[in-house]
Structure 1
Amino acid sequence: MADIATAPAIPIRKRIWGWYFFDWASQPYNTLLLTFIFGPYFAQTATQSLMAGGMSELAAEAQAQAYWGYGLTASGIAIAILAPILGAIADSTGKRMPWIWLFSVLYFVGSFGLWWTAPDSFSVLWALVFFGIGLIGMEFATIFTNSYLPSMGPKDELGRISGSGWAFGYVGGVLALVVMLLLFQAGENGRTMAGLTPLFGLDTETGADTRIVGPLAAVWFAVFMIPFFLWVRDEPHEPRLPYRFGNGMRELYHTLINLPGNPSLLAYLGSSMFYRDALNGMYTFGGIYALGVLGWSIVQVGVFGIIAALSGAIFCWIAGYIDRAIGPKPVIVTCCIILIGTAGLIISLTPTSAFGVALPEGSPLPDQLFYVAGILIGAAGGVLQSSSRNMLTRQGNPERMTEAFGLYALSGKATSFLAPMLIAITSDLTGSQRLGVTPLIGLFALGLVLLLWVKPDGEQHT
């Protein structure tokens, strides 16, 4: 059998489509598990468990949100510590694909394990452990797949390619969410949105119609990663260093001590550290917020997710061309400003008021405004992430791109505990889910300030 070095080259168009399919395959972890289905299910089930132990409903909702935040904090710390080290090792060896295989297995195992979170035997610890394993797998696989972006086309086309890939991923997330709502997730009448009983006779009394979201995300990922593994390859290199932890640490050490000599990259890592943390806080707690503050059902949260993801798909595709025309920095600034306004809108909403103005009982306005917030989060959030990874290709050293994305993950995870922790602490102190999300505004503002020191095309690498 021909080896990689002698096998026919894969056409660039096919490589790009293979790279797109990672976004399509992995997006359900964010859409189905983190934000719109499992996250709210965790909050709902944990709340019921706490109330059964004698806690009041309001306190139980805040405590459940805090548990979710602390679990994400632990996963974020693990990712922050390991991401740049593994990136440096991968660059030193010239091999990224074995790492993607490894973390794909973690994605599959972690997401599939969420099936064992039935309400009658619910364990906060084990639910968070399984979720954390899958999240770590998804995040690390993303680091290594993102590092292929510079090889997908000329520099001026990377914004468009990144935007199209992110849009394709959102479409995958929407389709997975539609499948979940039409075939599995039951509403109050015991039927799905398609009017069916949940597929496979899933028992709504045990939450099986919701818990199936874990195996669904795992199987979806396994099937749609096939084009990626068929069409994306590590580029042939001269013989490089073998896998050794010490090699990766030495390379990382040299990169870190040289960071002050690349002030634009340093400022960008700091900026993205704060604004991506704030955005992740919005994604992570949006569904939980709607469930607890506005009293939505999981089906309503799912519909909200479809609207947000469709918005993200459309605007990521459009913004990819804007990014190509004007560069990623103005796009990032605009998105941060929109998201600050969106956070303020969300905080102002209660079932009986909006912007501090009392509304008649049963007014649909709070729900309608939250849907507007979902459209804005989907659009600005997706575009922000797409342009951010393109911005990194302009800031990082092309010869050390996996390491650069490892540092990017470090900057995103070094304080990834911050938004969940601040939300958890604020929720605990105020006893209010609504006030718990106020720290997000400050994090977006910090990111904007640090962008002042970021050069649009980075420093010159020689």
Structure 2
Amino acid sequence: MTHSVERRRIWGWFFFDWASQPYHTLLLTFVFGPYIVGVAADSFLAEGFAEGEAKAKAQTLWSYMLTIAGLIIGFSAPLLGALADSAGRRLPWILAFSALYVIGAGSLWFALPDGSNLTQTLVMFAIGFIGAEFALVFVNAQLPSLGSDNDVGEISGSGFAFGYLGGIVSLVILLLLFVEQGNGKTLIGLDPAFGLDASQKEGTRAVGPIVAIWFVVFMVPYFLWVREDTSKKRRPSLGIAISTLGGTLKALRHRVSLSSYLGSSMFYRDALGGLYGFGGTYARLVLDWTIVQIGVFGIISAIAAAIFSWIGGKLDRKFGPKPVIKYAIWVLIAVCIVVVNMDRTQFFGMSLTEASKLPDMVFYGCGILIGGIGGILQSASRSLMVRHCDPANPTESFGLFGLSGRATSFLAPAAIGAVTAATGSARIGISPLIVLFLLGLFLLRWVKPEGDRAVWDAPSQSSQQSPY
């Protein structure tokens, strides 16, 4: 493969992050998630629940949906990864799960503001989310083939940075032209584009179809430039996949570094997912922000994520991924402590006036750190997994990585839901994330900085010339 072809392949791989990031930026965190929990809260209020109880029930409902989706992803990813490895191909799987992404996202147009089809809406969101996460497992498995172990951290960081940039551009478009404020106008004072009805929140609901269209358009470079070695194509074998996966799982007890890393990432990535999944809903339910305010917050957070992810890739190349992960976790623990101890009326027990802007300013700062440090943590995690994965079965290895991030992905939303329900406070409901981050940090102590690729006695990749 020539240098130019290899470089184009890397850029094609980057475009998956650009195409898929809006599901997380626009739907999960900053626009649709806060919108739908607001719809749910209003629906519970109409049923006669008190305001605080209605908000808590809305957050609990959102947590249940994410819990179920996480369970499906976590327990299916390793087997599907092994099945893809047995066939020697990943692109057909990426195409299939991309279809789920598009169907799920596009269907969110029907999320009515009266909450009459709330259950259907949550089901369709989960379908799209499952498609996005499964596609990511197979795309991540392509990372080891893009460069040497010394290069993949920087490639991973640049991919995340490029993806977050896509999230920023799409979010800006939505806020300027579509998402309506309380007065029915967009952020720049326009009616929602294409004659959309602001009274029916059609500008906000349009986020689903726009995310679907965005994905279809920007996946074109990925499918054009990222090619697979078809000489390794084989007939998929479920029996071989199950046998291979079973052998890998049995071998984990002899691989302390990998086992510890999978356990560590299981907890800290679950906690990070909780921050992403509930950051916007926290702003909506605890700070009473509007969707447009949350969108502006999202732009700031995504800009930080793009910049920090790129810097994180450089730090990964210089120091390795493990130290980067460790310090990122400590920063996010500090953020969680701040968030749990703040609302509109008080900050760490200090009473605030009704007009105080301190909670808003502090949460904007938290958003910068959640986006920026979260981007670094994800990028470095992907890089450290490359150092642990089997070169012969990378999709299965990243399937296990997906399992470690999703097998207990119900923990964060379920714990948040349980604590929220028990305390009646959406703010205190965030506190379990601190425990999950600490558990991840504890298990990280047994992880080797350079992984355990030597188990397979694979040829060193350090001598390869980087195409990056």
Is residue 2:221 matched to residue 1:235?
no
Poorly superposed stretches of 4+, deviation over 3 Å: 7-10, 236-240
State the TM-score, normalizing by the size of structure 1.
0.97
Residues of 1 paired with 2:395 and 2:128: CA distance? 21
Decide whether aligned partners of structure 1 residues 186 and 90 sit closer, same or farther in structure 2, where only a CA change above 3 A counts: same
CA distance in 2, matches of 1:237, 1:265: 30
* 2:74 equivalent to 1:80: yes
Measured after TM superposition, the shift of residue 407 of structure 1 is 0.3
Residues 1:303 and 2:296 are matched in the alignment: yes
Which of 67, 72, 90 in structure 1 is aligned with 2:84? 90
SS of the aligned residue for 1:196 comes to coil
Counterpart selection for 1:395 from 370, 383, 388: 388
The reply to whether residue 319 of structure 1 matches residue 319 of structure 2 is no
Q: Which residue of 1 aligns with 2:463?
A: none
Measured in 2, the distance between the counterparts of 1:458 and 1:195 equals: 53
Letter in 2 for 1:377: I
Matches within 5 A, 1:242-281: 242-281=235-274
Counterpart secondary structure, 1:399: coil
The one-letter code matched in structure 2 to 1:335 is: A
CA distance in 1, matches of 2:139, 2:376: 18
**Equivalent residue, structure 1, for 2:154:** 160
Task: Summarize deviations over 1:402-460 as a string: whole Å, max 9, x none.
Answer: 10110011111110000000000101000000100000000000000000000011121
In the TM superposition, what are the counterparts of 1:416-435 in structure 2 within 5 Å?
416-435=409-428
2:369 aligns with 376
Which of 352, 369, 381 is residue 359 of structure 1 equivalent to?
A: 352
Alpha-carbon displacement from aligned partner over 1:289-331 (angstroms, at most 9, x marks no partner)? 1111111000000001000000000011011111001100000
CA distance, structure 2, for counterparts of residue 124 and residue 10 of structure 1: 49
Match of residue 125 from structure 2 = 131
CA separation of 1:383/1:456 partners in 2, compared to 1, >3 Å: closer, same or farther?
A: same
Cα distance between partner residues in 1 of 2:168 and 2:232: 42
Matches within 5 A, 1:20-39: 20-39=14-33
- Confirm or deny: 8 A CA contact 1:352 1:358 kept in the other structure: yes
Deviation at 1:124, TM superposition (A): 2.5
1:131-159 deviations in whole A, cap 9, x for unaligned? 01000100000000111111111211111
The percent identity for this pair of structures is: 53
- Cα deviation for residue 8 of structure 1 reads 9.6
| Structure 2 CA distance for partners of 1:112 and 1:399, relative to 1, 3 Å | same
Q: Which amino acid aligns with 1:78?
A: I
* 1:172 to partner: Cα distance: 0.2
Q: How far apart, in 2, do the equivalents of 1:115 and 1:238 lie?
A: 41
Residue of structure 2 in register with 1:290 after alignment: 283
CA distance in structure 2 between the aligned counterparts of 1:443 and 1:238, rounded to whole angstroms: 40
**Partners of 1:439 and 1:198 in 2: how far apart?**
39
Deviations 1:240-259 (A, max 9, x none): 3x112222111111111111
Of stretches 230-239 and 310-319 in structure 1, the one that deviates more from structure 2 is 230-239
2:465 equivalent in structure 1: none
Q: Which residue of 1 aligns with 2:205?
A: 211
The count of residues paired between Structure 1 and Structure 2 equals 455
8 Å Cα contact 1:184/1:192 also seen in 2: yes
Residues 1:51 and 2:19 are matched in the alignment: no
* Native 8 Å contact 1:10 1:231 kept in 2: no
Distance 1:297 1:121, change over 3 A: closer
- The answer as to 2:183 corresponding to 1:189 is yes
**By how many angstroms is 1:123 displaced?**
2.2
2:439 aligned to which of 428, 434, 446: 446
The answer to whether the 8 A contact 1:37-1:298 is kept is yes
- Which residue of 182, 201, 225 corresponds with 2:219? 225
Superposition CA RMSD, Å: 1.3
Distance 1:121 1:451, change over 3 A: closer
Q: TM-score, normalised by structure 2?
A: 0.95
Amino acid at match of 1:443: L
SS of the residue corresponding to residue 114 of structure 2 reads: helix
In structure 1, the partner of 2:408 is: 415
The letter of the residue matching 1:55 is F
Show the counterpart of 1:109.
103
The unaligned stretches of length 5 or more in structure 2 are 458-468
For structure 1, list consecutive stretches of 5 or more residues without a partner in the other structure. Answer: 1-6
Q: Hey, what does 1:4 align to over in structure 2?
A: none
Cα separation, 2, equivalents of 1:81 and 1:267:
19
Structure 2 CA distance, aligned partners of 1:92 and 1:203? 50
Alpha-carbon contact 1:147-1:402 (below 8 Å) kept: yes
- Cα distance change of structure 1 residues 106 and 315 upon mapping to structure 2, 3 Å threshold: same
In structure 2, the partner of 1:64 is 58
Whether the aligned pair in 1 keeps the contact of 2:89 and 2:233 (CA below 8 Å) is no
| Comparing 380-389 and 395-404, the one that deviates more | 395-404
Whether contact under 8 Å (1:143, 1:406) holds in the other structure is: yes
Cα distance in 1, alignment partners of residues 266 and 333 from structure 2: 16
